[in-house]
Amino acid sequence: MEKRVLLAVFLSFLVLFVYQSLIVPPAQLPDDETVSTETRSTGLRDLSPVETQAPVIETPPSTEPLQTTDASGAVGVSAVIADETPRDIVVETDQVIATFSNRGGVLKSWQLKEYLEDSGEPNELVPVLGDQEAPLPFTLEVADEQLNVQLREALFRPNAGSLQVGTEPRSLVFEYEDSGGLRVRKEYRFDPQNEPFVVRFSASVRTSRGVVNPVVRWGPGLGSSTAGGFGFTYSQPSQAIFYREEDVSRLDRSDLEETPAYEGTFGFVGVDDHYFLSAALPDTNSAEVNYRPVTLGSGDDQLVLIDYSLQFAEPPTETRFYMGPKDFDILGMIDGELVQAVHFGFFSWLVVPLHRSLKWVYGYVGNYGWSIIILTIMINAAMFPLRHKSVVSMRKMQELQPEIKSIQERYKGLKATDPAKQKMNQELMGLYRDRGVNPASGCLPMLATMPVLFAFYSLLSVAIEIRDAPFVFWIQDLAKPDPLYVTPLLMGVTMMAQQRMTPSTADATQQKVMMVMPVVFTFMFLGAPSGLVLYWFVSNLWGVGQQVVTNRIIGPPKVHTVRPPAERRTKKAKVKKKGSREHGGG
């Protein structure tokens, strides 16, 4: 029975291995395929890296109207409320450094202080696309293309040259007005104390013809994140995501090319990648979202981002936009529905309490590596009775092997369809009943531990808390493979030791074949996140220790002598005759 369990474990990990290797990575386009980029007339810009700037000293706006031109190039209306020159306004909170441009009053950069890129710089959620051109987040668009040009190119007047947001909420306001009747106002409100990584956005556009309900264009959002290595490459590219009617939809490029537009009342709507989320929370305000995949580069450098735009039933007023990590606790603090953005998979019912338990332990330990070890010990201690029962049952099955093989030997010449074969099963069941052995009891307790293994697999591959989390010495990121392969090798050694110590009902040849499995697992785990390998290693180490304790409790295997068939029949006859006398005497 333990052979079947080990085979089930092996096949399960083989499925995960194949899935991660062949299915998860996005398909790449051929090098000679045409690359789609932003071609609409949308105020193209050069996305160069944001440099640290000194605080901008606010200067009073000019009182003289600025002359502007219409689409034909002729002198047209003049700006009444506007800034004089292009400039950036930096807003800094404890969590983010946001850079806004007064040209269009749009977001130019959103850097997360506590989450670093491989270069050591704060993680950037507004993609830096080099010489590619695309609209910036919070770009406003309307049906009139000439008006769109004005909305993109106008130099909005900010209410501050820079903004340092502490415990009290503060707002950054951009205003623009011209003599032709166009009045535009954008407000970004920050309250990092109560709503970290959130900006509340309000916008109003008024022309000489009246109020216009604009589309809020986000532009290409988020890049792909990767954790792990060969065989365990956890890579989720940028994808569309929205929560509607108590259901989460996650759409890739092929889905969006088929159906780009969606509408309704969304709990949240936007894009995400492996670790980060950019989404609007319209609350009860109905909205329409339009997605468009944007393919950049080619070959190995190819990147697919998702451009999306939103139009609400009414112009946005205090509409929340979340731009931050997919941290379960932070998302829950912002909105209860936002936690649905974290995709823990089929075992989410078990992953969530494991996740909370891991963070609870971390609160005392302060190191996620040691937290994984402590939580693994706690889980294995809780499963001690199950494993003990499994080993005891397998020991009993091992002791019965001579008698089981003797019964099977007498019927080995029969075909599986022969009715006489049923007698063999009856004899085996009688043997199990007489000795008090349940063949399934050796497998079921071990299978009961499998959901915990897969839950840990999902947790450690998705939880952003493990990203960049150091353990000790050479392991500085539990979301990446062990660079020296120490933990995978130790895991393989402990797995082999545990397998040799576990009672087996297989023959010598099968046991040798099963000993290959630790080697295969070791090879597979070379590219696994070190946090997952650490969990598996500690579990194996615990299993070896528990096996030693269990062996001492139950003692050495008992040797049962196989009686010849005639002796068994004589004994059964004596027992039957004795029972008849006692019954008659009664």
Query: Each residue of 516-571: pLDDT tens digit?
Result: 778 888 888 888 888 888 988 998 898 888 888 877 877 666 655 555 554 555 55
Q: Give me the pLDDT at residue 346, please.
A: 79
- Once rounded to an integer, what is the mean pLDDT over residues 127-141? 80
Are 161 and 151 within one domain? yes
Q: Give me the pLDDT at residue 196, please.
A: 94
Between CA 125 and CA 136 the distance in angstroms is: 12
Number of structural domains, the chain? 3
Are 87 and 231 within one domain? yes
Are 358 and 426 within one domain? no
Question: Is residue 412 domain-resident?
Answer: yes
- Once rounded to an integer, what is the mean pLDDT over residues 6-27? 50
Question: Is residue 586 domain-resident?
Answer: no
Looking up residue 313, the CATH number of its domain turns out to be 2.70.98.90
Question: Is residue 4 domain-resident?
Answer: no
Q: How does pLDDT run across 400-420, given as a tens digit for each residue?
A: 777 777 777 777 777 767 777
Question: Is residue 457 domain-resident?
Answer: yes
Residue predicted with more confidence, 561 or 464: 464
Are 330 and 354 within one domain? no
Q: Which amino acid is it at 245? A: E
Question: Is residue 51 domain-resident?
Answer: no
Q: Give me the pLDDT at residue 318, please.
A: 93
Residues contacting residue 66 through CB under 8 Å, at least 6 positions apart: 78, 79, 82, 84
DSSP states of 211-247 as a string? EE--EEEEEEE---EEE--TT--EEE--EEEEEETTE
Are 211 and 312 within one domain? yes
- Name the residue with tokens 């196989």: 562
Q: Which domain holds residue 98?
A: 66-343
- Residue 308: pLDDT band (50, 70, 90) is very high
Are 229 and 259 within one domain? yes
- Once rounded to an integer, what is the mean pLDDT over residues 288-296? 89
298 to each of 38, 39, 51, 65, 219, how far by Cα in Å?
Answer: 16, 18, 28, 47, 20
- Residue 456: pLDDT band (50, 70, 90) is confident
CB 86 within 8 A of CB 155: yes
Say what percent of the chain tops pLDDT 70: 72
Q: Give me the pLDDT at residue 442, please.
A: 58
Are 302 and 363 within one domain? no
SS (H, E, C) 173-210: EEEEEECCCCEEEEEEEECCCCCCCEEEEEEEEEECCE
Question: Is residue 494 domain-resident?
Answer: yes
Are 333 and 453 within one domain? no
Question: Is residue 215 domain-resident?
Answer: yes
Instruction: Output the six-digit token pair for 340.
Output: 């649905």
Tell me the pTM. 0.74
Say what percent of the chain tops pLDDT 90: 34
Q: How does pLDDT run across 222-249, given as a tens digit for each residue?
A: 765 444 444 454 567 789 999 998 899 9
Q: Give me the pLDDT at residue 42, please.
A: 33
- Name the residue with tokens 């290595």: 229
- Name the residue with tokens 């082999």: 496
